[in-house]
Structure 1
């Protein structure tokens, strides 16, 4: 029986519609990477359905890129614009260890979006800077610089000196170092401290043995702080750590102890710390992070006795960003859980 032309056209249209539904047009996925760091685009290879696009972190996202599914962020000031306009985003890879800027822009409320951090990318640089601050404190390099600027000879810091005097932080050898916030950075720092003869203990939310170091729960701080020559703080920034080092805990530290903070400025009660230093109730402090950055000109910390101001310089240079992105891309395309999901 012959099929009428009308029926044939209808059947053909039905077939084409079904085929189109089963085989939708091929679409390439877009990944946007920031121009705020030297990014090796050639390292992101082996993904034929992916195109890479640089973007300015201080300008609105171009209209041609707002349909991107993946956004890599670093020192962005345009995240509010991205949140308002990039409705097809499925994954944000922050290169910061703590992506507070991404969360505060509104992305924390998007349930269909995965946010991953740059945890691990700053371990070596922050560990190195922390070691430098500890050595500067122990060897009094800040005092030497102050005398140099005055054209004076700091004779009290040179010549014959007592070897590891009791009740003083003058060397890392036999120094009792407590690292509060014992994560990847602490694990990177610890071998250098041990090599210089220090004794290292950790404090964290959960106790245990990590890389051979005993880590105590935070409820043990009243016992740990009085036995500490230098307290290294690498706490994350969240409401539970606000003013974690307060006046009460500062009073538990020995009079000669130093505080080094390379975590988050919000973790230290700055007024209480400055008061303890100016009153001579604490040996000194080296701070790389502050509640307000840049540190305001009127801040009392500029003139606080025995305080080293470091301008959030410990990190700032993510290492291995491309490797992390490739690893997470593989997992993302395979439908697997990504690394460093918050």
Structure 2
């Protein structure tokens, strides 16, 4: 995206769309916008729920702030937009981005979850290292069975997807003594990652991995990334943590690997269908712990952190600098 014309930057028309009934911690109010966008004075500020839209205001809007995007409506009606600030980090549901005018920048909330997800991943990885999922399974069956484990120092972790979240995970785990190998598309080094490589070397890394952590976006390249062959390539007794998206892992293959004892445990925080249905077989798989998609959500100050991204981008646009958190049309994140 080229330099944005600055005639609207000082007084943009802003349209905010919330979802009725959603957690109020994630509702964007006019107060939030005015407090967090000191770089401009909105000429128009409209805050509505998706079931009571003001279409005329949407048509005039330069900026759209929303957690859920009605892509057909935006494509059809919102012809004046310059920036869409999505308050969600994951935007795979909107791909491909053919609905988005090339002149409009779609930015996401990548990075706002980093501190919380790093903390969660440290907890979950320590649990996997200590075989806590297996201990929890034994508890359900009233079985006392002691298995001693050493410290985490030197335990080999492979993080697939070292972006904002994966980088935060690496930082936390490195400080606890884990040895970190990272995989990212660019292959560029990241602090706290001992060895960085690219996706084409994923399978080569698996035999040397004690804990596999998935922190990547869901794209055509990562859908079904971890299946039976990948799990079989892990050493016996290895474990898996998924904080990416449910579609990254073949759950049938994961079940087989856990039931056979090849994997010592797994922790899942994301699922293809959420809430996870009560009749899902995942609930009863041995040595599997289920978290209800809570790894990245820290509601206090969430909206403020999202709007800080927008404020920074408005300042960048005024200075003719590239925007950050822009969703890549080719890769979908």
TM-score by length of 1: 0.78
Displacement of 1:210 in angstroms is 1.8
Q: Which residue of 1 aligns with 2:3?
A: none
Count, aligned residues = 303
1:50, 1:100 → 2: CA distance?
Answer: 32
- Verify: 1:32 aligned to 2:23, yes or no: no
Q: 1:156 aligns with which of 134, 145, 149?
A: 145
| Counterpart selection for 1:69 from 59, 62, 70 | 62
> Could you tell me which residue of structure 2 aligns to residue 232 of structure 1?
213
Query: Of residues 184, 196, 201 in structure 2, which corresponds to 1:204?
Result: 184
Contact 1:201–1:215 under 8 Å retained in 2: yes
CA contact (8 A) 1:95 1:121 kept: no
SS of the residue 1:201 aligns to? strand
Distance, in Å, in 2 between the alignment partners of 1:109 and 1:325 is 18
RMSD: 2.7
Cα displacement (A) at 1:109: 3.7
2:307 is the alignment partner of 1:326: no
Q: How far apart are 1:237 and its partner, in Å?
A: 1.0
- Cα distance in structure 1, aligned partners of 2:211 and 2:170: 13
- CA distance, structure 1, for counterparts of residue 117 and residue 259 of structure 2: 28
Tell me how far apart the structure 1 counterparts of residues 13 and 98 of structure 2 sit (CA, whole Å). Answer: 19
> So what's the TM-score if we normalise by structure 2?
0.80
Go from structure 1 to structure 2 and tell me whether the alpha carbon gap of 1:322 and 1:181 turns closer, same or farther (over 3 Å shift).
Answer: same
- Does the 8 A contact of 1:260 with 1:287 survive in 2? yes
| 1:59 matched to 2:42 | no
Question: What does residue range 297-336 of structure 1 map to in structure 2 within 5 Å?
Answer: 297-317=278-298, 318=302, 320-336=305-321
Q: Distance in 1 between matches of 2:134 and 2:258?
A: 15
- Distance of aligned partners of 1:217 and 1:101 in 2 relative to their CA distance in 1, 3 Å threshold: closer
> In the alignment, which of 83, 90, 94 is matched to residue 91 of structure 1?
83
The 1:97/1:187 distance shift into structure 2, 3 A limit, reads: same
The 1:100–1:218 alpha-carbon spacing in structure 2 relative to 1, beyond 3 Å, is closer
Greater relative contact order structure (CA < 8 Å, 6+ sep): 2
Alpha carbons of 1:59 and 1:316: their partners in 2 closer, same or farther (altered >3 Å)?
farther
Q: 2: CA distance between counterparts of 1:275 and 1:163? A: 24
Q: Counterparts in 2 of 1:96-245, with a 5 A limit? A: 96-103=88-95, 108-142=99-133, 152=142, 155-157=144-146, 162-164=148-150, 171-213=151-193, 214-245=195-226
Q: Which residue of 2 aligns with 1:337?
A: 322
Tell whether the 8 Å contact from 1:286 to 1:310 is kept in structure 2 after alignment.
yes
2:261 is equivalent to residue 280 of structure 1:
yes
2:330 match: none
The structural deviation recorded for 1:221 is 2.7
> Cα gap change, 1:81/1:261 in structure 2, threshold over 3 Å: closer, same or farther?
same
Given candidates 273, 278, 284, the residue that maps to 1:292 is 273
> What secondary structure, in the 3-state scheme, does the structure 1 residue paired with 2:263 have?
coil
Segment drifting more, 61-70 vs 124-133: 61-70
Whether the 8 Å contact between 1:230 and 1:257 is mirrored in structure 2 is yes
With 275-284 and 80-89 compared, the bigger mean Cα shift is at 80-89
**Range 176-185 or range 331-340, more displaced:** 331-340
Q: Shift of residue 322 of structure 1?
A: 2.4
